[in-house]
Amino acid sequence: MAIYGAETTTDEILEGLDLNGRHFMITGASSGLGEESARALSNAGATVTMLARNQDKLDAAVERIKTNVPMAGIQTGIVDLADLSSIRSYAEGFLQKETTIDVLINNAGIMACPFMQTKDGYEMQFGTNHIGHFLLTNLLMPAILKGQSPRIINLSSAGHTHSDVNLEDPNYEKTEYNAWESYGRSKSANIHFTRELVRRYESELQSFAVHPGVIITELGRHLTPELMEEMVERVKARSTSSSEAKETGGLPFKSMEAGAATQVWAATTSDLEENNGAYLGDCQVGVEGGNPSENGYLPYIYNEETAKELWALSEQLVQQEFLSN
């Protein structure tokens, strides 16, 4: 296994790799980590479908990529992950094209927003970060399973340490809303979803959950000084790897190229076959009890019963059943 770390970039991950003939689909691709992943993958020869809510922003991202990669094979699609009808409409149209998907990177997300609801009435962070991707992934599964060595990459976060999922009150109908707790629930859900995909599909596909690190992107658009202070205190409390991490909160900022590297690694490496379903950070396999700001995770994210129950709840919320196992 190649030795990578927190500062490894997307281009270093893909150096010497020929992705011609491979099709990658990326949600939240009009900026940030999604755009950088699309740039790097297309630069390595891949065909990339970039999904986002806004066509103008998508077109601008494509233009930026083609400035650097003139021959980039880019396609675009409009999907609002906070609107189940938008997801169904896109998936139906895509499947009619009979195009395969080799790798789906569920990169889109919303973080620490005020209490809001999706079009279908779900709490916004849980509804967008998990439910939207749950439905999109399952609807596109026929195209994914026809792909070459198919993979599903779910962008999670060290934020999973804020909270495990709450299966009894996923939409804050009974309890007081907290922005970071909600974010944690949704990021834990991303990992449980990853684990359950692997359990259900076994050797038919690979799936990984990824912590990208701390990067300045549009994801932080809802952050107030108060929320930032709360985040730092939460991180200090959970930092475990060193006294310095406990003091500073262990929040080293990454470049965009380093931030997107772990999901690009997860999407392309041959080094993870024995770690199917793993949580990854800093281009390494996660370590239980390690520093979450690096690649550490809390053990509740690997609870098989929680993953099964979350899948059942998700099916109930989208009112559609998928592969039973």
For 85-117, how does the pLDDT look when each residue is reduced to its tens digit (9 = 90+)?
A: 999 999 999 999 999 999 999 999 999 899 999
Confidence of residue 245 (pLDDT cuts 50, 70, 90): very low
Q: Does residue 77 sit within a domain?
A: yes
- Strands 279-281 and 284-285 turn out to be antiparallel
Of the spans 211-215, 232-236, 254-258, which averages the highest pLDDT? 254-258
Confidence of residue 77 (pLDDT cuts 50, 70, 90): very high
**The residue to which tokens 């500073």 are assigned:** 248
Average pLDDT over the chain, rounded to an integer: 91
297: annotated active-site residue? no
CA dist list (Å): 83 to 1, 51, 55, 106, 288: 40, 14, 16, 16, 35
Torsion of Cα atoms, 195 then 201 then 206 then 210, to 10°: -20
- Angle among Cα 157, 160, 162 to the nearest 5 degrees reads 125
Determine the residue type at 198: V
The pLDDT, as a whole number, for residue 250 is 53
Query: Tokens representing 233?
Result: 């205190």
Q: Does residue 80 sit within a domain?
A: yes
Of the spans 29-33, 210-214, 286-290, 294-298, which averages the highest pLDDT? 29-33
Question: Does pLDDT of 248 surpass 50?
Answer: no
Q: Which whole number is the average pLDDT over 10-25?
A: 98
Question: Does pLDDT of 50 surpass 60?
Answer: yes
Q: What is the DSSP letter of 221?
A: G
Question: Does pLDDT of 219 surpass 60?
Answer: no
Q: Does residue 318 sit within a domain?
A: no
Q: Percentage of the chain with pLDDT > 70? A: 87
User: pTM value?
Assistant: 0.91
Give exposure, 165-183, as e/b (b: 16+ Cβ within 10 Å): bbeeebbbeeeeebbbbbb
Q: Percentage of the chain with pLDDT > 90? A: 83
User: Per DSSP, what are the bridge partners of residue 210?
Assistant: 155, 280
**Residue of 4, 90, 122, 183 marked catalytic:** 183
Helix, coil or strand: residue 132? helix
Strands (E), the chain: 23-26, 47-52, 73-78, 103-106, 151-155, 206-211, 279-281, 284-285, 287-288, 296-297
Q: Does residue 321 sit within a domain?
A: no
Q: Does residue 325 sit within a domain?
A: no
Selection from 70, 69, 66 nearest residue 58 by Cα: 66
Q: Does residue 64 sit within a domain?
A: yes
Name the more confident of 172 and 289: 172
The pLDDT, as a whole number, for residue 214 is 76
Q: Does residue 324 sit within a domain?
A: no
Identify the weakest region by mean pLDDT among 31-45, 128-142, 201-215.
201-215
Q: What is the DSSP letter of 220?
A: G
Helix, coil or strand: residue 214? strand
Q: Which whole number is the average pLDDT over 189-208?
A: 97
Q: Does residue 272 sit within a domain?
A: yes
| Total of domains in the chain | 1
Confidence of residue 3 (pLDDT cuts 50, 70, 90): confident
Confidence of residue 293 (pLDDT cuts 50, 70, 90): confident
Q: Which whole number is the average pLDDT over 55-62?
A: 97
- All residues at 6 or more sequence positions from 149 whose CB lies less than 8 Å from its CB, including other chains: 102, 206
Question: Does pLDDT of 220 surpass 90?
Answer: no
Which CATH number goes with the domain that contains 188? 3.40.50.720
Helix, coil or strand: residue 71? coil
Q: 254: domain range?
A: 10-312
